[in-house]
Amino acid sequence: MTPQLATLLVACQDRKGLVASLAQVLYGHGANILDSDQHTDPVAGMFFQRLRFDLSSLTTDRVSLEHGIKEVGERFAMSWTLSYVSRMPRIAVFTSKQEHCLYDLMIRHRAGELRCEVACIISNHADAAPIAAHFGVPFHHVPVTAETKETAEAAAHEIIEAAKVDLIVLARYMQILSSAFVAKYPSRIINIHHSFLPAFVGANPYKQAYEKGVKLIGATSHYVTADLDQGPIIEQTTIRVSHRDSVEDLVRKGRDLEKRALAQAVRWHLEDRILVYAGKTVVFD
């Protein structure tokens, strides 16, 4: 039986009475708060909160509860989202020829680590078709060239909408999405970049790291924006390297970092732990 749980995420200008007002509206409708986490940015003067609560003891109904939250939201000029555990989020995974992140996500999903439905896998190459078949996920081969990019993105958009996808995960998808495509899914596309951003943006970051003789390499998961590799950072992982490591060594070591950073970011998004503001994130981990 699916637990009757919900998560409320809020963000607004910091002021007195926020925590009390939110707690009061939930209490007034019979909801039982199970977990509460909050953060205040003193520089931006912003308040953020994540509330996880039990709905089984509601004395009203969900419509009334949402109306009560809306009233508090309007009073404090809050942006807020309310999600229910009973609704399973659906994701689409975009990939190219490098399959390690795709495999990792699918294995974690099968193991129950990622609470979602994998609606489809989309790739500009056919290589991932056997992986999709193995895990029983619909596969769509959407080739992309400079001449067909707009048509390909239109086809991908049609697939995503038909599958009712909530989140797009770029698991080493080696194509740059257009700003028009990205604009359709604000804070709903997660990418893994194989460097410790903001260092080594763009192509061949491991080669760039090798040429600079860095002592740490990393991987960064972030929301995708129109600016390449500049979206709000969700998670970063690192490992020490040395002068003995070749480019191939960096690539090998980096693959583990990429898998971990991407899976963590996807998990936090699915669990409604992330708030985006001012080009960065608050992650209630």
Task: Please list the active-site residues.
Answer: 229
* Strands 139-141 and 5-13, bridge-based pairing: unpaired
Residue with token string 């709903």: 188
Q: How many CB atoms lie within 10 A of CB 260?
A: 17
> SS3 letters for 104-172?
HHHHHHHCCCCCCEEEEEEECCCCCHHHHHHHCCCEEECCCCCCCHHHHHHHHHHHHHHCCCCEEEEEC
